[in-house]
Structure 1
Amino acid sequence: MFQTSLSPEALRGALSRLRSGHSAFDRAGARGAAAARQPVHTVYGGAHLFKADTARKLGAVALAALAEHAPDFAAFARALGLPGVDELPEGRAEAAALAAALDAGEAPAGPASAPARLAHAVHARVLDKLGREPVEDLRIDFEDGYGVRPGHEEDAHAAAAAREVALGMAAGGLPPFLGIRVKPLGEACAERSLRTLDIFFTALVAASGGALPPAFAVTLPKVVAPEQVSALADALDALERALGLPGGAIRIELMVETPASLFGPRGEIALPGLVEAARGRCVAAHFGAYDYTASCDVTAAHQHLAHPACDFARHVMQVALAGSGLWLSDGASNILPVAPHRARPGGAPLTPQQMDDNRRAVVGAWRLKYGHVRRALESGYYQGWDLHPAELPARYAAVYAFFLEGVDATAERLRSFIERAARATVAGTVFDDAATGQGLLNFFLRAVSAGAMTEGEAAERTGLAPDELRDRSFQAIVARRSA
């Protein structure tokens, strides 16, 4: 026996404090593992352009760009630089024959097998997504994508956009997530911003009979002080009361695009205070790369998502909001897949050189977008901005390839971790790497949420039952298996 100096009574206070701290941490972790679907992107478009069928039209433009510049799965894989593209056929007839074989479940032998299966699966999922649900989250923009207009014009556009939202609700044509971005609540724009907010919601409630689209959000840009967030929350409180809406029905998203959004005047992390100022309404923080880098005095030629200043800001966002359950979103790519030459109705057709210029411009922007999305996913950012419909093929391809490339190895590791953890529990020993097991499980939860695979496909790959996947908890799965 070893002698000690402290009695159980002497330790009771310290242990009680630890238990309360652990409980608070566990509650935060539970919020961070919320089961709600997070959209993989947010598409921003000027409010003056929004219509009830905007999402469908954006999908049509994306499909047209895909058909013109990457007409088969092998061409699309080469455009994006997917793994093993050198093994894929270059002729359209050969690509069509290989696609038919893959559709029939006849995978080719040799080095082309894995690249062909991946490229074909990504292409098929992208086509399906663009035809079925091309936009997951759309923001009706009254800020940068709209500009400064006369007051009467913005009034009219706010009311018109609201009526289009009501039409889209009635027709079932809206994306799963929707919202508006107002102007900043700085001195120059605050009254204009809140007037637009009032007109929009008043017109929407009148046109829809008192209903809002689910998960409707107001995005607040260029936040520099918690008072701006509080003012928006106050305005939404008043609107909900005046319009007979449930309290808290309208959500808030914060844009992190100034250093003051990250750090307060004394160097403290500002983001938690901004979230608190929203009084429970805040659901997401979106990074604005170009305003942020400009605020850091980065010159225009070097403002891009991969700049070290952006990496720093995104990581601060992750650390500051870890366990909060808030969604984090990356910003937009700075080069859009827009063809420089356009044929005019009744004019001369494009020359071969012009068509090649168009293809190079679009494919170059696709590859840049693909790289930005992959980089964000690898850093733990599962959502980002899209500003042009032709970006959508690259966005979805990057998301699907990210999950499909690693699915076999990750599934094997997850099965092994569950088996080892269950054995340790039965034997009364400690499995000390549960965090890695949860990370492996999160890979499949994210893959299902992002549409890279169905719940059934994830269950088949991992050997888990659908109910176990829905638990969303590695420890709960282990406990169930151990019992």
Structure 2
Amino acid sequence: MQLAIAENEKEQLLQELGKANLRFQQVYPGDKPDRQPVHTVYGGANLFKADTCVRMGEIARRHLYTYAPNFVALARALQLEGHSQLPQRQADIARLEEKLETLSDEARKQEPAWLYYTVYKKIVRKLTVEAVEDFRIDFEDGFGNRPDEEEDATAIAAAKELAQGMQQKTISPFIGIRIKPFTEDLKHRGVRTLDIFLTTLLQLTGGVLPHNFVVMLPKVTIPEQAATLVRLFELLEKAHGLTAGALKMETMVEATQIIMDDEGRNPLMRIIRASEGRCIAAHFGTYDYTASCGITAKYQTMAHPVCDFAHHITKVALGGTGIFLSDGATNVIPVAPHKGDQLTFAQLQENQDNVHQAWRIGYGHTMHSLINGFYQGWDLNPAQLPMRYAATYHFFLSNYDDAVFRLKTFVERAAISTLTKDIFDDAATGQGLLNFFLKAINCGAISEEEALATGLTLEEIRSRSFYRILEGRRKHR
């Protein structure tokens, strides 16, 4: 059949389209396969010690054992679906736990209580092995405005503690500092703290940064603030002999002006571009953002509708760019109001009620974030860590079977495709499905072996790249 479009004319048009498609793919490469921590713990720089993350894990475990000594107690405290069917007598709970411990993984999943049991066991292990995934040494809200001499001294002391923690291997796998914002009144203080901290740290470590080190720049509203930090990074890298691009940054979404500027546009992509590839994440600041919306303190919560609006705008602005997004923090801390060893029964009950109520709030906030595609949030106190992992593990485990089916089906469809030029599009979609399992493995919700149910091999899972998986499978067809 004679076609109406000449071959050379068709190829010229498609080549031009190809250039445009590639430009789009460079801007929107899809989900990044790198590990993203499930939380960032913010702690005042004046309180930071080399073993802070280890001690937070110990506090979190004691807190969990005190207010939920077993998986049934935790299910009841959180009022998880089906908790009323669990045994109440301690002897019956012990027998059920003993039974679950003796079953194989597959047999255990047939038991109604397996999810509660598995989540609890994983929480305990996580708090023992890696309670804190990411920590930010905070010179901003967690530190406050203090005399210059005090902040200078704190910057030196915190850098020394971090260097010691690096040597002792007691720091979190992700770590960084939050400096003061580059607003007109605080820009000099922010730069000075950054310089003092990094200079002290690098002198002590022989020019070595911690793994996954990042500088958080808060209250960003214009691209020029990010661009200025990039130029400062270049000066610091040159002065200390660091590899170009070694210093990374994060931005914060905590003002209405970063959602919509004076021309009615969202400036987030321009801020990311101004960072010249150094910005890896955007974190939401719940309380500054709600305050900028005129919300009074009583109603400044992660559950406020203005937060969801900001989240969705941020998702739309940065979706597909590979920038990690983080939700904010729950400000209801699960701490008992009564202290001491000689408490009355009524006081002990009030302590438990307060902690459990705060747990439910934190659990609900974290689950809401996860459901809306925010796989990271803030924690402010070690007592919040058990609920961070309770929600995270419950989310991943309860969605495991559905995710296995979706990824397995997609892999099979993509691998048998006869198309030769759609591998990028296939990989971008598949990477999103694969990332569910990578995130679940990274935080300890599932093991690599459990991810094999997707039909992927261990080698393919460890590649962390769906593009490489498709490429490899199509080569061996």
State the TM-score, normalized to the length of structure 1.
0.91
1:451 to 436, 439, 444: 444
Aligned to 1:359: 352
Could you tell me how far apart the structure 2 residues matched to 1:182 and 1:114 are? 49
Match of 2:40 among 34, 39, 42: 42
Match for residue 152 of structure 2 among 155, 163, 182: 155
- The one-character-per-residue Cα deviations of 1:44-70 (angstroms, maximum 9, x if unpaired) are 000000000000110111011101100
**C-alpha distance after superposition, 1:296-340 (max 9, x if no partner):** 122222221122211111111112112221111000012111111
**CA distance change for structure 1 residues 146 and 115 in 2, over 3 Å: closer, same or farther?**
farther
Q: Which one of 242, 245, 254 corresponds to residue 245 of structure 1?
A: 242
Distance 2:44 2:183 in 1: 21
Please report how far the alpha carbon of residue 437 of structure 1 lies from its aligned counterpart in structure 2 after TM superposition.
5.6
- Equivalence for 1:265: 262
Instruction: Kindly provide the amino acid, as one letter, of the partner of residue 400 in structure 2.
Output: V
The 5 Å alignment of 1:154-173 reads: 154-173=151-170
Q: Is the 8 A contact 1:46 1:145 kept in 2?
A: yes
Which of 431, 434, 459 is residue 467 of structure 1 equivalent to? 459
After superposition, residues 303-322 of structure 1 pair within 5 angstroms as 303-322=300-319
Partner of 2:18: 19
Task: List alignment gaps of at least 5 residues for structure 1.
Answer: none
Contact 1:80–1:394 (8 Å) recurs in 2: no
| Aligned 1:393-404 pairs, distance under 5 A | 393-404=386-397
State the match for 2:382 in structure 1. 389
Distance 1:479 1:187 in 2: 50
Contact 2:37 2:134 in 1 (8 A): yes
1:17 deviates by: 2.1
Which segment is superposed worse, 395-404 or 10-19?
Answer: 10-19
1:170-319 to 2 correspondences below 5 Å = 170-319=167-316
CA separation in 1, counterparts of 2:434 and 2:65? 36
Q: Is the 8 A contact 1:75 1:90 kept in 2?
A: no
8 Å Cα contact 1:230-1:277 kept in structure 2: yes
Provide TM-score, normalisation by structure 2.
Answer: 0.92
Pick from 63, 81, 98 the counterpart of residue 96 of structure 2: 98
Distance 1:475 1:237 in 2: 32
User: Percent of aligned pairs with the same residue?
Assistant: 49
Count of residues paired in the alignment: 472
| C-alpha displacement of 1:435 | 7.4
Query: In the TM superposition, what is the alpha-carbon distance from 1:109 to its structure 2 partner?
Result: 9.8
The alpha-carbon deviation at position 96 of structure 1 amounts to 2.3
Q: How does 1:82-161 map to 2 (within 5 A)?
A: 82-105=80-103, 114-161=111-158
The alpha-carbon deviation at position 164 of structure 1 amounts to 0.2
Report the CA distance shift for 1:81/1:476 in structure 2 as closer, same or farther (over 3 A).
farther
Tell me the amino acid that sits aligned with residue 183 of structure 2: G
Using a 3 Å threshold, how does the CA distance of structure 1 residues 19 and 190 change in structure 2: closer, same or farther? same
Does the aligned pair in 1 maintain the 2:334–2:358 contact within 8 Å? yes
Q: Deviations over 1:411-435 (max 9, x none)?
A: 2343344445555549xxx9x9987
- Could you tell me which residue of structure 2 aligns to residue 414 of structure 1? 407
Q: CA deviation at 1:91?
A: 2.9
Please tell me whether the aligned partners of residues 227 and 277 of structure 1 are also in contact (alpha carbons under 8 angstroms). Answer: yes
Aligned Cα root-mean-square deviation (Å): 2.6
Q: Do the aligned residues in 2 keep the contact of 1:87 with 1:115 (CA within 8 Å)?
A: no
CA distances 1:271-317 after superposition (whole Å, capped 9, x unpaired)? 11111222221111001111111111222222211222111111111
Query: What is the distance in 1 between the residues matched to 2:227 and 2:350?
Result: 49
Find the aligned partners of 2:97 and 2:462 in 1 and give their Cα distance: 34
Where 2:242 maps in the other structure, the secondary structure is coil
2:194 maps to a residue whose letter is L
CA gap 1:350/1:411 in 2 versus in 1, 3 angstroms: same
1:82-105 deviation digits (Å, cap 9, x = unpaired): 332112122333222212211111
Larger RCO (CA within 8 A; separation ≥ 6): 2
Contact between 2:35 and 2:438, CA under 8 Å: does it hold in 1?
no
- The structure 1 residue matched to 2:56, chosen from 55, 58, 63, is 58
